Amino acid sequence: MDLIFFKVAVVFYLSSSMSYLIFLVFPSIKSTSVALGCAVVGFVLQGLSIIHRAVFFGFFPLGTPFDALSFFAWFVIGLFLLLQCRIPSPIFGAIVTPMASVLMLFGSTFSYQVREPLVPILRSWWLPIHVTLALAGNAVFALMAIGGLMYILQERLIKGKRIGRFYRLLPSLETLDKINRHGLPVGFFLLTVGIISGALWAGSVWGFYWSWDPKETWSLITWFAYAAMVHQRVVLGWRGKRAAVLALIGFGLVMFTFLGVSALLGGHHAFKGPGVGAFAS
C-alpha cells in the first residue's frame, strides 16, 4: 500500500514512453498529447508518493537508494515538463520518460524499507539541503546529456542530408545547444554548492570537512570535468557537437558517482554495509 502512488506513477511513465514510441514508429497515430498527459499525471503521482514517503518516514525521504533514485527521476521529469513549453519535441519526451521509468524501476530493486531507528546523522537539516542540491544538479546534467544526444542525432541528419521526419521532429541545433549553454552554469552551480553543503555537513557532525571517501573523490573528479567544460565553453568557445559530447561524458561520470561508487566502492555515502550506520556508530 505504501508504494501505491509510486507504482501507479511508474505505470503512467511507462504509458507515456509507449505513447511517444508509438508516435515515432507510426506517424499517423497522434499520441503525443496522450504521452504528455501521462507524464504530467505520473509526475503529480510521484510527487504524492514522495510526500507519502515523507509522512511514513517522519522526515525527508532521502535515506535509501530507492528514495534517492525516485527523487532524481522526479526532478528529471519536472525539468522536462518545464522545458516542454520551450522545446516541444516528441523525441525529447521519448528519451526522458523511458529514462525516468528505468531509474524508478532500478530504484525499486533496492529495499525501500527504512532502517529503524533512523541513524541520527540523517536526521539533520543538512540531509535535504545536501541531497536536493546534488540531485537537482544531476537532473540538470541529465537533461544536458539528453539535449546533447539529440544534438548529435540532428547534426548527423543535417550533415548527412537526411532530411526526413526525424529531422522535422527534432528541435533546431541552436535550441539544443541552448540547453547546454543555459544548463551548464546552473548544473555546475548546483554541483558546487552540493559538494560544499556536504563538506559543511561533514564538518558539523564529524569535525572534518573532507575525508576522501570514494564518493567525495568521484564528486571532485566530476566537478573538475564540469569545470573544464565551463572553461572550454566560455574561454575557447566550444559549442555544438563538442559541447554535446562533453555533456554525455560528464553525465556518464555523474551516473557513476551517483550509482556506481556506492555499489562498487563503498564509503560513508553508501547506503548499506559499512555505510552510514557503521560510520555513525
- Interface ranges with another protein (CB under 8 A): 27-28, 154, 158-159, 161, 163-164, 167-168, 172-175, 178, 236-242
Least distance between another protein and beta carbon 22 (Å):
17
Identify whether the C-beta of residue 246 lies closer than 8 Å to the C-beta of residue 232: yes
Q: Based on CB atoms, which residue is closest to another protein, 110 or 167?
A: 167
Give me 128's grid cell: 535535504
Least distance between another protein and beta carbon 28 (Å):
7
Least distance between another protein and beta carbon 152 (Å):
12
Identify whether the C-beta of residue 241 lies closer than 8 Å to the C-beta of residue 155: yes
Q: Based on CB atoms, which residue is closest to another protein, 78 or 185?
A: 185
Question: How many whole angstroms separate alpha carbon 227 and alpha carbon 121?
Answer: 31
Least distance between another protein and beta carbon 17 (Å):
24
**What is 184-241 written as a DSSP string?**
HHHHHHHHHHHHHHHHHHHHHHHS-S----HHHHHHHHHHHHHHHHHHHHHTS---HH
Least distance between another protein and beta carbon 146 (Å):
18
Q: Based on CB atoms, which residue is closest to another protein, 68 or 184?
A: 184
- Cα angle at 35 between 31 and 41, to 5 degrees? 145
Q: Based on CB atoms, which residue is closest to another protein, 167 or 209?
A: 167
Q: Based on CB atoms, which residue is closest to another protein, 117 or 237?
A: 237
Least distance between another protein and beta carbon 30 (Å):
8
Q: How far is CA 1 from CA 94, 107, 238, in A?
A: 30, 17, 50
Q: Based on CB atoms, which residue is closest to another protein, 228 or 278?
A: 228
Dihedral sign for Cα 25, 30, 31, 36, please. positive
Grouping H, G, I as helix, E, B as strand and the rest as coil, residue 65 is: helix
